[in-house]
Structure 1
Amino acid sequence: MEKDSELLLATERYGSAGSWRYSVKDGAVERRREGSEGASRTNSIVGVFKSVFLPQGYPESVSDDYLQYQFWDTVQAFSSSLSGTLATQASLKGVGVGDQEATVAAATVTWLLRDGTGMLGRILFAWQKGSKLDSEAKKWRLFADVLNDTAMFMEILAPYFPAFFISIVCIAGIFKSIVGVAGGATRAALTVHQARRDNMADISAKDGSQETLVNLAGLLISLMLIPLVTNNPILTLSLFFLFTILHLFANYKAVRSVVMETFNEARLSIVWQQYLKDKRVLSPQEANQRETVFFEFRKTVPIRLGVRLQEIVQSPEDLQMALWKKNMPYLLGVRNGCVCVCLGPEASVHDEIRAMCHAVWISSKLSPPASKEPVTQQQSHWEMVHESHKLIDTTFNPFLKGVEAAGWDTKRTLLDWDEWRVTWKSKSS
């Protein structure tokens, strides 16, 4: 009878955290959470934890791979914190902390030299590789962590080579500066991927809170480790290798868990070549699983996007050979062992994807073992370009519809285009 006397007025929910109902009982409005009271207390505790360490609206406000990535990222941050403690202790010992004969001036000079070379390394690396960090975020993220472990290993060994101490710590400082640029930039790229409600700042802030909590836990463990490893190089190295293995494994699992829905060169090449093979379009999950997270050194014909016209055309005849039809959004050719693409100023994102598919097909034909005898005659190159135009004209539109249906984001890409844009005369003129 009590329930019969209640009059339901409204219901509400807070994301996926739970739902509440408003009802009138004995002339008063009551708000009650749906579910048991015990569950309500538990959900309240979990809700506080989520609000402190997870983005608002989780899990709807982030990508599906967010939780798995953050779990492994937390593991790697914890192990890196412990490894960093061992490296810091070695560095302090190397500059003379605890040595009565060491001078403050000598320690200061060593520290300044390390920081100065690190600053130069940061500038040079950002100049040379800054534009690559978006398109190859997974690879550079893993590379940064491997380099970070290498730098810490050098810092641990440095005190045992006093004659080369300054050189070793300066090189380690350069490595760590590169880690700072690559790690920070790729983290920003992954945050763009994870944000689903234009909430990059919130995700980044909560990631900082998670990292701070992990570092605090690492600090507490480090306080117990320091007395054990002091003046015990064997234990120091043993623990460092243990933490490093855990760190690298967690980083590998973290980058492998990321499922990006935008095309870079690797993912587009995987999906496009599979489509040419059996007309099947791979989903983002399948393509990301096939994408390698290590830098490859196998011999392939490189692709250069957004080059100057002179990279392709050396004569009026070359321009006529490069033009396939009127109003082409891009030109493509083979020069100096590279597949080069010139982009027109009005080219759309779909034109960029088309040009990349075009270049991938030519690159695969020229790369061993697909090509047992390299193509050396320029005329043969142009014949291959014309053949590829015919293939692209018949297959690209169905392919584009297929990738959109499979869940790929074709409104933007992570292809590494340079800034050159060329306007050329049409073939008829």
Structure 2
Amino acid sequence: MQKITDVVLATERYGSAESWKYLAKDGVMERRREGTGGESKGNSIVGVFKSVFLPQGYPESVSKDYLQYQFWDTVQAFSSSLSGTLATQASLKGVGVGNQEATVAAATVTWLLRDGTGMLGRILFAWQKGSKLDSEAKKWRLFADVLNDIAMFMEILAPYFPAFFTLIVCSAGVFKSIVGVAGGATRAALTVHQARRDNMADISAKDGSQETLVNLAGLLVSLILIPLVTDNPVLTLSLFFLFTILHLFANYKAVRSVVMETFNEARLSIVLQQYLKDNQVLSPQEANKREPVFIELRKSSPIKLGVRLQDILRSPDELDLALKQSDMPYLLGVKNGCVCVCLGPETTVDDEIRAMCQAIWLSSRLSDQASRDQQRKGHWEMVQESHKLMDKVFGPFLRGVEAAGWDIKRTLLDWDEWRVEWKIKSN
């Protein structure tokens, strides 16, 4: 009697999960998972958990740093939830909850003033720093979390200074409003980085589910903590500092785990300076490890991108100097120790990267103590020298960064919107 063998008709796979095959056996098509005889209950539970809390198509549909970032983000969210419970308890106590002499009107006024100042702070911060949140998402993400801890600490201390309670909680409200703007905007910027299949909405929704689960866990722990810390300021402050240290550490690890493949000023500066030093192009992983994640209050030679023409030059002679040795669709100049870049209307992404490379080189020369003698000769000579340098190195540099895995189709450089079309051409 002839033995009937199973014939494989097709195979299928769901993302990077187990593969399945369809077999023809005795005229019937049978679906069977490869490697095991069937699907276990444990695997089905894990699968349901992944489908609820992870984006569809994970891990192929997200960036490689997604899981590490989400782990530390979960830790910081849990510790922040517990710190927030302690701060909320202190705020309620400060407005008179549990105090028979307190009035509803006084508590309401305090709460309204807190919310009102917070709204004004939100508008002003978005106006002043909104354009910076994309280009420096890591810095502002960490800044927001540090400011959030400061605000909660102020709320915990506020009840012990009743004469200044309203002032303190209003200041804390302003800080928290800034946290809301910076935290939400930078989270959106990180979601853009993590989304690899135009699935920003799915990643954002699953991040909300993860945060809700963490807050639920924090709520359960808070139910145990509240009876312990009530009327015990020493234990309250001790636990707050413990949670704050954990919160800040987790946030630092979270932003450090992010590996962005697009250039902002810091990452481009790190890669360019290394290339000019030894002709080596750093990978995105190496450059992101060196990228600073703390806000710098003042730079020695700052760079302004997309400025007005009058921010670079004042006379037709200076325009001729700016165009000398260059036919690029941008102008560079130095004003009051600041490197300024003026863009033409037809500037490409490659032109923007090149202009930024020149600005970085000029900024480093201005900051270099050894270049003071050259600065006395005039900064236009330095600008012309930068054009010659870019003519020599930019082509190989751009090919090198693309080969190293950098995304040069777009940038996160902080360009302003001024565009200038100049009429004079240098001979």
How many Å separate the matches in 2 of 1:324 and 1:428?
6
SS in 2 for 1:421: coil
The alpha-carbon deviation at position 32 of structure 1 amounts to 1.2
Please tell me the residue identity of whatever aligns with 1:199.
N
1:66 aligns with 2:66: yes
Decide whether aligned partners of structure 1 residues 250 and 38 sit closer, same or farther in structure 2, where only a CA change above 3 A counts: farther
How many Å separate the matches in 2 of 1:293 and 1:382?
33
SS in 2 for 1:362: helix
Instruction: State whether residues 53 and 209 of structure 2, in contact with CA within 8 Å, keep that contact through their aligned partners in structure 1.
Output: yes
The alpha-carbon deviation at position 42 of structure 1 amounts to 2.8
Matches for 1:15-414 after TM superposition, within 5 Å: 15-37=15-37, 40-297=40-297, 299-325=299-325, 327-371=327-371, 373=372, 377=376, 380-414=378-412
The alpha-carbon deviation at position 24 of structure 1 amounts to 1.9
SS in 2 for 1:365: helix
Please tell me the residue identity of whatever aligns with 1:214.
V
How many Å separate the matches in 2 of 1:165 and 1:3?
87
Deviations along 1:17-76, one digit per CA (max 9) or x if unpaired, are: 111111122332211111224764332221111100000000000000000000000000
How many Å separate the matches in 1 of 2:42 and 2:2?
27
Please tell me the residue identity of whatever aligns with 2:85.
T
How many Å separate the matches in 1 of 2:375 and 2:78?
53
Structure 2: tracts of 5 or more residues without a match:
none
How many Å separate the matches in 2 of 1:410 and 1:194?
17
Decide whether aligned partners of structure 1 residues 294 and 33 sit closer, same or farther in structure 2, where only a CA change above 3 A counts: same
Instruction: State whether residues 262 and 407 of structure 2, in contact with CA within 8 Å, keep that contact through their aligned partners in structure 1.
Output: yes
Please tell me the residue identity of whatever aligns with 2:360.
V
How many Å separate the matches in 2 of 1:297 and 1:428?
39
SS in 2 for 1:23: strand
How many Å separate the matches in 1 of 2:301 and 2:117?
35
TM-score by length of 2: 0.97
Instruction: State whether residues 325 and 427 of structure 1, in contact with CA within 8 Å, keep that contact through their aligned partners in structure 2.
Output: no
SS in 1 for 2:231: coil
Structure 1: tracts of 5 or more residues without a match:
none
How many Å separate the matches in 2 of 1:96 and 1:180?
26
Instruction: State whether residues 32 and 38 of structure 2, in contact with CA within 8 Å, keep that contact through their aligned partners in structure 1.
Output: no
How many Å separate the matches in 2 of 1:375 and 1:330?
23
Instruction: State whether residues 366 and 375 of structure 1, in contact with CA within 8 Å, keep that contact through their aligned partners in structure 2.
Output: no
SS in 2 for 1:10: strand
SS in 2 for 1:204: helix
Instruction: State whether residues 366 and 374 of structure 1, in contact with CA within 8 Å, keep that contact through their aligned partners in structure 2.
Output: no
Decide whether aligned partners of structure 1 residues 184 and 374 sit closer, same or farther in structure 2, where only a CA change above 3 A counts: farther
Pairwise CA RMSD = 1.6
Decide whether aligned partners of structure 1 residues 342 and 75 sit closer, same or farther in structure 2, where only a CA change above 3 A counts: same
Deviations along 1:164-215, one digit per CA (max 9) or x if unpaired, are: 0000000000000000000000000000000000000000000000000000
Deviations along 1:139-161, one digit per CA (max 9) or x if unpaired, are: 00000000000000000000000
Of residues 265-274 and 295-304 in structure 1, the stretch that sits farther from structure 2 once superposed is 295-304
How many Å separate the matches in 2 of 1:359 and 1:256?
26
Of residues 76-85 and 329-338 in structure 1, the stretch that sits farther from structure 2 once superposed is 329-338
Of residues 379-388 and 163-172 in structure 1, the stretch that sits farther from structure 2 once superposed is 379-388
How many Å separate the matches in 1 of 2:132 and 2:422?
28
Instruction: State whether residues 324 and 389 of structure 1, in contact with CA within 8 Å, keep that contact through their aligned partners in structure 2.
Output: no
Deviations along 1:90-114, one digit per CA (max 9) or x if unpaired, are: 0000000001111111110000000
Decide whether aligned partners of structure 1 residues 39 and 23 sit closer, same or farther in structure 2, where only a CA change above 3 A counts: closer
The alpha-carbon deviation at position 396 of structure 1 amounts to 0.4
How many Å separate the matches in 2 of 1:3 and 1:230?
78
The alpha-carbon deviation at position 162 of structure 1 amounts to 0.2
Instruction: State whether residues 327 and 426 of structure 1, in contact with CA within 8 Å, keep that contact through their aligned partners in structure 2.
Output: no
Of all paired residues, the percent bearing the same amino acid is 82
Decide whether aligned partners of structure 1 residues 26 and 227 sit closer, same or farther in structure 2, where only a CA change above 3 A counts: same
TM-score by length of 1: 0.97
Corresponding residue for 1:418? 416
